[in-house]
């Protein structure tokens, strides 16, 4: 938001004010007149609470924070819980019930309760947007919604978990699993709990969101046939290489008859397949459509900046519908 | 249109009627009550004129055909003329002057006169859309316009000419240049004049359209530094392979200072680059943006069906703005 402040004003006649921040361990702050994000960041980075920036009655908890609604948009960016989706699910429900638009990068809620949240948003005449849940700000949901009219998504497969892909491609270079994982964590790309990346939960949650939204089915992350990269050994990569293949954690959904088959697992990919060249923190999704056959979107070397852009692009979708 | 008739009605409340067809060598036909496309196709495929399907005063020429405007949308799909853009340019100007929306897959007009046509369309409150000019129906212009808000395209590079790519990748398999080109023509992917593909004119025209639209510059195809694949020999491909590279016809635009550098030429691409895996009639575009860094769209094995979808997707953009 800070980097694009001028452009938002000149190109979209859009101004914004940060009126509240709720954190897990650094307190809450509400100020309808606006909070300086840099000041809040400085406090958090030096380990202090942001409660000092708060104006008005004390905040009881995050739901109380949301209910006070001094804002038009809630950004829900708590960490993933692939089983219960909490506390994000309650945050989002509360916001929508109070007619606050919701933009989230948390996969849990749309993976677990997409239909419920979509219907609640519709009823409340609010937006519920989540472009950042899959491949950061690379258009995936917006791609299908806004640029592939009259098309049907028949299935998809792709590389959706940056940490696993980073670890696998570092191992290809001869690094150990542990060292590669440590580097991913240092880069800030791993989930708060890295086992969610390594065990395939993050990819399974993304798979569920994609299936729910693009294929119109209802699949929970726990129903995705899931195998992570924890058991992959250096020998597996060497064996793959000798066969002209590479090992990648692939998320895959297809429909057979009326049945939906959803799977996350390490797969051998031919070196001449576009997905074989997706390395490090890059990610890619192959959409199988009735109109464009296979269409691939690839995000090169995603960082948290690209996740931030996902939230911004959703803000603009919301803003354009309100103007 | 025929394949999607039901879906257009149910999902978009959209019905259509084909009220006129103008051809280069099979005559013209106008019928405000509707022309059966299958009947017209049968006549054309058996070498006959479609004038038999015409109702009313004889059609003098294609501009006369357009001026009679029994239609809301003109599909301009004549072959490419990268120097003068004719007759497409006059067709499009005439249609817009008569308040007919224009959808084209012809690169010439937006390559040569994008600003003029955009302004004319704006003045006439008409749409001028051309998603099909680059990578068939794969979203390129729509991707930037509809899914990358508040982003700037800083440059791009990609594989944009299917015929050249098909020929190069067939040569990699050991086929001769001539046999590969003949196959491309038989598949219907080559331009009417294949020298436009082989000499890089088609890619240069696409490069100009992309630069004009996405970078806001004004470049004509003749100003693109252009080198085709005509001089590529089997030895070049072998030499590339020995260096761990492949040869691809790459279109590339970058800005250096205030200057725009636009080029089409065979380039050596590292085998581990995503573009190296773009083979046959597949195509790919790498967009360099300020928000998403490098974002790649890949169309796998495009055929004329995917070009047809480009026109359909533009119809839906037009229809949605009218409803």
Q: What is the pLDDT of residues A271-280, one digit of tens each?
A: 999 999 999 9
Q: Give residues with Cβ within 8 angstroms of B178, minimum separation 6.
A: none
Task: Report the percent of chain A where pLDDT is more than 70.
Answer: 99
Report the pLDDT value the prediction gives residue B156, as an integer from 0 to 100: 98
How many pairs of residues across A and B have Cβ atoms under 8 Å apart?
128
Whether the CB-CB separation of B27 and B51 falls below 8 Å is answered with yes
Query: What is the predicted ipTM?
Result: 0.95
Q: Which residues of B touch A276 (CB under 8 A)?
A: 277
Largest CA distance in chain B: 66
Q: Do B291 and A272 touch (CB under 8 A)?
A: no
pTM, 2 dp? 0.96
Give Cα A73 distance to the centre of its chain: 18
Alpha-carbon gap: B52 to the closest alpha carbon of chain A (Å): 33
Report the pLDDT value the prediction gives residue A262, as an integer from 0 to 100: 98
Higher per-residue pLDDT: A107 or A190:
A107
Q: How confident is the model at residue A322 (pLDDT cuts 50, 70, 90)?
A: confident
Q: Do B293 and A274 touch (CB under 8 A)?
A: no
In this prediction, residues A60-70 reach a mean pLDDT of 92
Q: Which residues of A touch B306 (CB under 8 A)?
A: 291-293
d(CA A177, CA A181): 6
**Known catalytic residue at A206:** yes
Helix (H, G, I), strand (E, B) or coil at B212: helix
Q: Do B312 and A278 touch (CB under 8 A)?
A: no
3-state secondary structure A97-132: HCCCEEEECCCHHHHHHHHHHHHHHHHCCCCEECHH
Measured between CB atoms, which of A138, A293, A298 is closest to B301?
Answer: A293
Q: Do B147 and A148 touch (CB under 8 A)?
A: no
- Residue of A173, A206, A227, A239 marked active site: A206
d(CA B294, CA B277): 17
- Tell me, what DSSP letter sits at residue B158? E
Q: Which segments of chain B does DSSP mark as H helices, in order?
A: 5-12, 37-45, 62-67, 88-97, 108-123, 141-142, 162-172, 177-186, 195-198, 201-214, 234-242, 304-322
Residues 129-158 of B with CB under 8 A from A: 136-139, 142-143, 146-151
Q: Which residues of A touch B137 (CB under 8 A)?
A: 291-292
**Residues of chain A by 3-state class (helix, strand, coil), percent to 5:** 40, 20, 40
Q: Do B296 and A295 touch (CB under 8 A)?
A: no
Report the pLDDT value the prediction gives residue A32, as an integer from 0 to 100: 95
A293 touches chain B (CB under 8 A): yes
Mutation pick from B216, B277, B301, B318 vs chain A, by most beta carbons of A within 10 Å, is B277
Q: Which residues of A touch B295 (CB under 8 A)?
A: 138, 297-300
pLDDT tens per residue, chain B (323 residues)?
A: 889 999 999 999 999 999 999 999 999 999 999 999 999 999 999 999 999 999 999 999 999 999 997 899 999 999 999 999 999 999 999 999 999 999 999 999 999 999 999 999 999 999 999 999 999 999 999 999 999 999 999 999 999 999 999 999 999 999 999 999 999 988 888 877 789 999 999 999 999 999 999 999 999 999 999 999 999 999 999 999 999 999 999 999 999 888 999 999 999 999 999 999 999 999 999 999 999 999 999 999 988 899 999 999 999 999 998 87
- Residue of B38, B206, B243, B293 marked active site: B206
Is the pLDDT at A294 greater than 90? The verdict is: yes
Report the pLDDT value the prediction gives residue A314, as an integer from 0 to 100: 98
Alpha-carbon gap: A159 to the closest alpha carbon of chain B (Å): 14
């Amino acid at each position: 938001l800070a980097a694009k402040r001028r452009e938002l004003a000149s190109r979209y006649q859009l101004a914004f004010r940060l009126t509240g921040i709720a954190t897990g361990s650094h307190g809450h702050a509400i100020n309808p007149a606006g909070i300086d994000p840099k000041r809040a960041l400085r406090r958090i980075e030096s380990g202090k609470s942001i409660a000092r920036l708060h104006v008005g009655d004390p905040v009881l908890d995050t739901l109380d924070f949301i209910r006070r609604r001094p804002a038009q948009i809630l950004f829900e960016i708590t960490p993933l819980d692939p089983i219960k989706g909490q506390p994000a699910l309650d945050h989002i429900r509360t916001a929508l019930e109070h007619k606050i638009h919701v933009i989230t990068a948390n996969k849990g809620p749309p993976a677990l309760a997409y239909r419920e949240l979509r219907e609640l948003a519709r009823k409340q005449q609010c937006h519920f947007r989540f472009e950042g849940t899959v491949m950061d700000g690379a258009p995936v949901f917006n791609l299908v919604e806004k640029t592939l009219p009259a098309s049907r998504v028949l299935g998809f497969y792709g590389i959706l978990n940056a940490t696993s892909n980073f670890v696998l491609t570092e191992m290809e270079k001869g690094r150990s699993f542990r060292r590669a994982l440590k580097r991913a964590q240092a880069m800030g790309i791993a989930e708060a709990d890295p086992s969610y990346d390594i065990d395939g939960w993050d990819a399974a949650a993304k798979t569920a969101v994609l299936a729910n939204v693009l294929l119109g089915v209802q699949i929970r992350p726990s129903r995705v046939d899931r195998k992570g990269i924890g058991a992959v050994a250096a020998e597996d990569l060497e064996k793959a290489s000798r066969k002209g293949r590479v090992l990648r954690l692939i998320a895959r959904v297809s429909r057979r008859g009326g049945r939906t088959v959803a799977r996350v697992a390490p797969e051998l990919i031919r070196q001449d397949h576009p997905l074989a060249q997706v390395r490090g923190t890059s990610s890619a999704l192959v959409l199988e459509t009735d109109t464009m056959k296979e269409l691939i979107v690839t995000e090169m070397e995603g960082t948290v900046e690209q996740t931030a852009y996902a939230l911004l692009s959703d803000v603009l979708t919301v803003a354009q519908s309100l103007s």
